[in-house]
Amino acid sequence: MILAVLTQLPIRSGIIAYGRWRKIRPFLFALLICALALPPGFACAAPTDPPKKTPTEMPGYSTDDLRKLSDIISRTGVSSDAIPALYRPQYLSISDADLSMENEEIVFIVNYPGNLVRIYPRRILVWHEAVNDILPTPAGRLPSAQQSPVPDKEVENLTITYSPLTGSVVGFRSMAGKYPSSFGLSGNLLNGNSVLYDRISRSLWIQLLGICVEGPFLGKRLTRVPVLSARWKGVKDRYGGLDSQFTGRAEVLSRSTGFTRSYGKDPYGTYARKGSYYDDLRLPFAVDRIDTRLPPKTPILGLELENSSGAVLKDEVRKERVINFSLGAVPMMAVHDEEIDAVRVFERTLTDLDQPLTFSIFEDKLVDDQSKSEWRADGECVYGRLRNRTLKPVLAIDSMWFAWASFYRNTQIIPGSSF
């Protein structure tokens, strides 16, 4: 900076005006001494604002937060695709699948466009963890109303995922950013949760969150679709029984996957037997944060709003049959669909009503306390003043408590921590 000042002194006819130089020389020397006394880099440093966190598509997480999550991924040594994801698998009819399934077996249900229901036995997904599913017909529009809260956009394929160590079941549109893709298993874990990768960019995605934590799509989030966990006995009766009122097509994921696996057994044990992985306190992997308000492997339904998160205790809903609650400012209710042993969550508001509905069990039926109308567990009113009205479903994700709470801190427990 001093040299710049000196070189810009007035020059006239190639001769420095010596008299003027004598007048300003003391000031220049003082300026030079001050400059030398300043800390290195001070003269060049411009005032800067504190660094801002770049937001992502997931509320509450910045790109810095996601990079921190990436840093604590457990590199297990298991190679990519050592757990083989399925791609375009085969399906069976309800009656054919029933020959090799047990009544109490856990299955996952997904409603597809065109009144198609696909059923994924947990005993198959526990060995593969991801199914890249292609629709058998041209892309249609996703169902609305009680069937699915998914945005009404055309889709071509979905990926259904299950992380055995965290019990989390998540379905999403098979898109990496704007590009159709399929997903595989990286072999790594984060808080026990499976880490996926997309085959377009090999970016890493956290299965429970559906968000990219490493790679070109950092901060992008997958569009999730509802997956319902249920029991096979009720499911086969509802979609394939003699008295079934279902008019669409139901298909069950076949064990003919092209891989040799013991699909009749679960390598982690069974929910039905005490002392297996699913009900003890062991966590044989690193977890960033443990919330001790509940036993770590308590089955919950995770709910996410922009500034709030909740964990619905599934066993309490089964016991009470229906629970009214609010998450943030949104009135909701959780109901037990007894026929298929599934727990569903809905908003309790209807657009033309001033107050939210409240629900209870009256004479073994689900009714709203305001109009005494009768409702089904799928959110449709079947008798009374509100007949044919439907409740808006809430995307609810099956998970174990420890996994949900490790990502969603300060989660509200529903119906309450006293249970």
> Do 78 and 156 fall within a single domain?
yes
Work out the pLDDT band at 26, boundaries 50, 70, 90: low
- What is the average per-residue pLDDT within 50-71? 86
CA nearest 223: which of 316, 314, 151, 281? 151
What's residue 282's pLDDT?
86
What's residue 130's pLDDT?
98
User: How much is the pTM?
Assistant: 0.83
pLDDT at 184 over 60: yes
> Do 32 and 83 fall within a single domain?
no
Do the domain assignments include residue 245?
A: yes
- What is the average per-residue pLDDT within 318-331? 96
Do the domain assignments include residue 116?
A: yes
> Do 346 and 240 fall within a single domain?
no
Neighbours of 165 (CB within 10 A): 20
Do the domain assignments include residue 351?
A: yes
Query: What value does the mean pLDDT of the chain take?
Result: 86
What's residue 265's pLDDT?
86
> Do 195 and 319 fall within a single domain?
no
Instruction: Burial-class residue 20 by CB neighbours within 10 Å (0-12, 13-18, 19+).
Output: exposed
CATH (domain of 386): 2.102.10.10
Q: Quick check: 45 and 257 in contact, CB under 8 A?
A: no
> Do 74 and 202 fall within a single domain?
yes
Residue 247's identity, in one-letter code, is: T
Lowest mean pLDDT among 36-50, 194-208, 313-327: 36-50
> Do 17 and 136 fall within a single domain?
no
Residue 195 tokens, joined: 């880490």
Do the domain assignments include residue 81?
A: yes
**Total number of domains constituting the chain:** 3
Do the domain assignments include residue 399?
A: yes
CA dist 46 and 379 (Å) reads: 60
Do the domain assignments include residue 44?
A: no
What's residue 15's pLDDT?
40
What's residue 364's pLDDT?
96
Helix (H, G, I), strand (E, B) or coil at 96: helix
- What is the average per-residue pLDDT within 349-362? 94
Q: Quick check: 170 and 230 in contact, CB under 8 A?
A: no
256-287: pLDDT as tens digits: 999 999 998 888 876 656 778 888 888 989 99
pLDDT at 351 over 80: yes
Half-sphere exposure (Cβ direction) of 240: Cα atoms closer than 13 Å: 19
Work out the pLDDT band at 384, boundaries 50, 70, 90: very high
What's residue 214's pLDDT?
97
State the DSSP string of 394-406.
Answer: ---EEEEHHHHHH
Neighbours of 22 (CB within 10 A): 9
pLDDT at 204 over 60: yes
What's the N-to-C CA distance of the chain in angstroms?
A: 71
> Do 363 and 221 fall within a single domain?
no
> Do 104 and 208 fall within a single domain?
yes
CA dist 333 and 327 (Å) reads: 10
Q: By residue range, what is the domain housing residue 11?
A: 2-37
Residue matched to tokens 């003027």: 20
What's residue 25's pLDDT?
57
pLDDT at 28 over 80: no
- What is the average per-residue pLDDT within 105-112? 96
362-373: pLDDT as tens digits: 999 999 999 999
> Do 71 and 122 fall within a single domain?
yes
Do the domain assignments include residue 374?
A: yes
pLDDT at 237 over 80: yes
> Do 319 and 247 fall within a single domain?
no
Q: Quick check: 31 and 25 in contact, CB under 8 A?
A: no
Do the domain assignments include residue 28?
A: yes
pLDDT at 48 over 60: no
Lowest mean pLDDT among 231-245, 273-287, 378-392: 273-287
> Do 363 and 403 fall within a single domain?
yes
Residue 153's identity, in one-letter code, is: K
> Do 343 and 239 fall within a single domain?
no
CA nearest 149: which of 114, 111, 186? 111
**Residue ending a domain, choose from 253, 268, 286:** 253
